Structure 1
């Protein structure tokens, strides 16, 4: 393809340049996945340069269908910028990708493919996360709202045939926004988002049965845990919080037993935290026997994880805190 470009120069059909841009972008993906950020950025830059040249040359004749590939080029470069710590450059590329997609969406109207709306929603939530991490709460929430709006529209269009992965993406978006709202002290709004996320994940578990990916059930457990925390923050009601803690722990214990050796250490890191949190809550309401059991279970799980991960284990602070709380409780009970 580069040889064709050199041979024909400006007379080369624009479609060839579009294909060449896609090849450069795909090459960038390969280097990005291998950890070679410098080379990945070089190839993404080549791809983007070609697409920018084509847009300028074609003007109103630019095919809207090419905008999706062009936007993917920007998005893939965003990943490298984020991993390299260049949030400013990443945000600029997010904006360019979104702009391309929104223009193409308006041009194509009813011919805009649903899968492109799904991709656009993912861009919005990713940019929302980046904006939130930089402290721009208003802009982050606006992007979360746009992502949710797109996915809700797609679910309505698909009806019962909505792809499960799309419903899972929507649930994760509600969960993400719930976390963001909760971190800003808006427990009531966070609760509403956790409710929606939990409903979607439970629907997927019923729909898929044994085929439901374990990672989705792990996310559901986190949804229950976060909803329990926000019950306490919003209403100070212990009973519903304990019920959600129990659901979160039950899900993870069930999966841990089902998966056996396939149980991932990253998932195992949450379970001792859940036991610790429930133990602390039980401790505060005087349920000392149950609290002691949860502290002890948390310690056992953390010790197992430490042995499994070796030098990669980073849970020393939690283990020390859990042991201290257990020992203080034992001393207070006089045995």
Structure 2
């Protein structure tokens, strides 16, 4: 792989719950008790990031980093070598060394927009969204069509509650024919908060086609199916999310929600309780388990 293509990738992640207030969905209101359980996958206005760098043992291995260091020693003025090693350090979770390498790459080539975007993602993982936004802006000044930076900046806007600007960034990446499913997934979340569930379902479905092994778009699409009272399709999506990753409390709580809507409170309580065991602080699961406890 060419060093200029060394880009830190972040999977589709769920940064935390966002409870929907009771509102009209289609022709009826969701009951208040159930509406709080509809955690929009990945939709939050907190500072929690959904651009989480996934540890890659191969790319972040000591052997790979040693090899990249040898390349740098052979050509210490080549910014691409630092960008590649910085990416490896990021994959290893060594953010300080990753920043050092991206800083050096940018120093050697101030127009290196991939390095700005890589550094931005590290800043996001370090809880520094302002620094990250500045780097994404710089990357887009250099290359306005860089989809990685558009999606990354869109996530920062979305987390900050600037949904219109986030929507525009995701839509622009989609117009550029990005193959990154996060663009559709994240735009789907915004459609969802606007109550535009048909559009959200379309976007989540596209995200699934591009990232079929990620549970988050299945959870997202399932939530919109629930909002449209299509419990069968919602249940299938939540079960698929569990098959892909059975460690996500959200998926189990969402499955429980469908059981509860169907009147099967015993199975609902079992799934809610399992979600609580996975994440004792996940409030939709806590509330659901308390509400269905002692019912059969």
TM-score, normalising length: structure 2: 0.64
1:272 aligns with 2:282: no
Q: How many positions carry a matched residue from both structures?
A: 226
1:264 and 1:147 map into 2 onto residues whose CA distance is 28
The structure-2 alpha-carbon separation of the partners of 1:192 and 1:3, relative to structure 1 and needing over 3 Å to count, comes to: closer
CA contact (8 A) 1:225 1:248 kept: yes
1:187 aligns with 2:184: no
User: 1:175 is matched with which residue?
Assistant: 185
CA contact (8 A) 1:295 1:326 kept: yes
1:130 aligns with 2:111: no
Match of 2:268 among 295, 298, 308: 295
1:246 aligns with 2:288: no
Give the drift of 1:174: 2.1
User: 2:224 is matched with which residue?
Assistant: 227
2:233 and 2:91 map into 1 onto residues whose CA distance is 38
Deviation readout 1:72-130 (Å, 9 max, x if unpaired): 1111111121122221111111011122223xxxxxxxxxxxxxx6xx22321111011
2:150 and 2:282 map into 1 onto residues whose CA distance is 36
The structure-2 alpha-carbon separation of the partners of 1:28 and 1:4, relative to structure 1 and needing over 3 Å to count, comes to: closer
Deviation readout 1:6-51 (Å, 9 max, x if unpaired): xxxxxxxxxx84xx11122223223333333333222211210111
The structure-2 alpha-carbon separation of the partners of 1:89 and 1:315, relative to structure 1 and needing over 3 Å to count, comes to: closer
The structure-2 alpha-carbon separation of the partners of 1:146 and 1:36, relative to structure 1 and needing over 3 Å to count, comes to: same
1:74 aligns with 2:116: yes
TM-score, normalising length: structure 1: 0.57
Rg larger for: 1
1:320 and 1:273 map into 2 onto residues whose CA distance is 9
Q: CA RMSD in A?
A: 3.2
1:215 aligns with 2:231: no
1:33 and 1:144 map into 2 onto residues whose CA distance is 25
Structure with more helix by fraction? 1
2:73 and 2:259 map into 1 onto residues whose CA distance is 67
Deviation readout 1:147-185 (Å, 9 max, x if unpaired): 11112xx7xxxxxxxxxxx3xx34x422211212323xx
| Structure 2 residues without counterparts, runs of 5 or longer | 1-70
User: 2:291 is matched with which residue?
Assistant: 325
CA contact (8 A) 1:31 1:39 kept: yes
Match of 1:314 among 256, 280, 286: 280
2:92 and 2:152 map into 1 onto residues whose CA distance is 22
1:40 and 1:296 map into 2 onto residues whose CA distance is 45
User: 1:259 is matched with which residue?
Assistant: none
1:49 aligns with 2:75: no
SS at match of 1:246: helix
CA contact (8 A) 1:29 1:76 kept: yes
- Say which structure, 1 or 2, has more relative contact order (CA 8 Å, 6+ apart): 2
